[in-house]
Amino acid sequence: MVAQSRRAVRSWAVWTLSVPALGLVVLVVLAAIAYGTRAFAELPSWQGLDVVLALTASALISVEGARRVESRRRRGGALHKDLAPAWMIAAALVLHPALAILVVVLLRIWWRLRAGRCIPYRWAFSTAVCVLAVGAAHAVYRSALELTGGGDLGLVVSMAGGALAYLAADTLLCGLAISLIVPGSSRQDTIGDKDDLCVDATAGTLGCLLAAATLISPWFAFVAVPITLTAQRALLLGQLETEAQTDPKTSLARVDWWRRRTEELLRASRGQHEPMAVLLIDIDHFKQVNDRHGHLVGDEALRAVATVLRSAIRTKDVIGRFGGEEFVITLPGTGLDDATVTADRLRSAIAASPLAAMCAGVLDDPDLDPDTFRLTVSIGVAVYPTDGTTVDALLLRADRAMYAAKAAGRDRVRLAADLHPDSRRSSTLPKPGLPRPTPADLQHR
């Protein structure tokens, strides 16, 4: 029995953490326990349990009502933001710290019971972070209230300061933990993007309104339930928009969104009299990959190529999946020479990438031999204004240049200007009477 217990302890996920990450987790949990113990020791009375009950019950109703929405919003990364902190912020502002901690613990226990499987140390760490954030919010709120004199405006400022303190403590501690537990995490992975900050702002604002309402009557907390359920659905809209404009296989932009963004960049280039390049990229002999290895490997190869391309361009460049095994990239503010260098760099990056290892790492397919599973791309380059003054004209010229690269032996870069030498001296406009080409006309595969 003792040996089994020891083996069970050794299998805990917490032992997989690095020393700094483990140290942070232990330090935060111990600090939360110490703060909670002190808060309960200083609790003068249990007056305020009706507020605890009202905040906890309304929070649970909101959490359960938004469960489907939140499961849809939840991303694959470690960071996930929702509106649950609103009730903890409200508790921190209107209750004694001990009673606010009680609200936190009740909500976190309910989450643990409803979540099913979870990693215990992460649950303990997240709960500890909430406890410390509640303490920070209460301390800032009380201090600000004393400084402002407790008037109406002072109350608003104090509540806003307390909510900001909660969100800052939560963001900093969780961000630091993610950066230590998942090495190489980006700033977006640790503290979130603009949408995550909007979620924080909504939770903080709602927490202040909840606190103000409960000062009048604890049961006003239930008025917030339909508001939060509606807000949760509103938070989903941004994700749905992103999904609608993202290609599911490669996580790149769909061609229609790429076109809209490129039209905007083209208008800006026209107004600023700057060049702009369009690259059309096609994977060579891609059909053979599907025929030889199957479509699952083909899909992984598409994702691998997309990853290489996306990592090799600037943040202001716009990349999309054009269709099939074709990709398209817009390079704003880029002339012919720089576009040629970029295209050749992308071509070399694909040819030198360990795509077999990238695909095998997902599919665990021993038949993906790095010596035989290699991909190359053919790239056509068109530049505004010499090769065209519209997105359609640039796509048509880039498409012809890409076919010229394939005809020259593949794994090549060809320029639209080389196919039409006169285009170096004058802009090429679509001929009157000819229909404008569409992306469907250009997708030959």
Q: What tens digit of pLDDT does each residue of 86-138 get?
A: 999 999 999 999 999 999 999 999 888 876 667 788 889 999 999 999 999 99
What is the DSSP track for 405-435? Answer: HHHTTSS-EEEHHHH-GGGGTS--PPPTTSP
With helix as H, strand as E and coil as C, how does 45-64 read? Answer: CCCCHHHHHHHHHHHHHHHH
User: Considering just the CA atoms, what is the radius of gyration of the chain in Å?
Assistant: 28
Sign of the CA dihedral running 135, 141, 144, 150: negative
Residues 112 and 103: their CA atoms lie apart, in Å, by 14
Q: How many of the other CB atoms lie within 10 Å of CB of 329? A: 28
Please give the angle made by the CA atoms of 104, 119 and 136, to the nearest 5 degrees. 30
Give pLDDT, residue 282.
93
Residues 389 and 149: their CA atoms lie apart, in Å, by 64
Pairing mode of beta strands 413-415, 377-384: parallel
Residues 221 and 212: their CA atoms lie apart, in Å, by 10
The number of helices, as runs of H, and strands, as runs of E, in the chain is 19, 5
Give the distance, in angstroms, between the CA of residue 334 and the centroid of all CA atoms in the same chain.
Answer: 28
Phi first, then psi, for residue 281 (nearest 5°) are -120, 130
Give pLDDT, residue 167.
94
Give pLDDT, residue 52.
93
Give pLDDT, residue 374.
75
Q: Which residues fall within 8 angstroms of residue 177, CB to CB, at 6 or more apart? A: 21, 24, 25, 28, 125
- Beta-bridge partner residues of 280: 328, 380
Residues 130 and 101: their CA atoms lie apart, in Å, by 8
State the pTM of this model. Answer: 0.61
Closest C-alpha to 97, from 140, 66, 64, 154: 140
Closest C-alpha to 330, from 371, 271, 280, 285: 280
Give pLDDT, residue 11.
58
Closest C-alpha to 278, from 294, 268, 263, 289: 263
Residues 21 and 56: their CA atoms lie apart, in Å, by 31
Tokens representing 35? 């703060």
In the DSSP assignment, the letter for residue 219 is G
Closest C-alpha to 400, from 385, 418, 386, 384: 418
Residues 8 and 210: their CA atoms lie apart, in Å, by 44
Contact 286, 342 (CB under 8 A): no
Give pLDDT, residue 333.
94
Rounded alpha-carbon distances, angstroms, from residue 330 to 360, 367, 381? 31, 36, 10
Give pLDDT, residue 427.
39
Contact 199, 207 (CB under 8 A): no
Q: How many of the other CB atoms lie within 10 Å of CB of 434? A: 7
Low-confidence residues in the chain, pLDDT < 50: 2, 76-77, 423-445
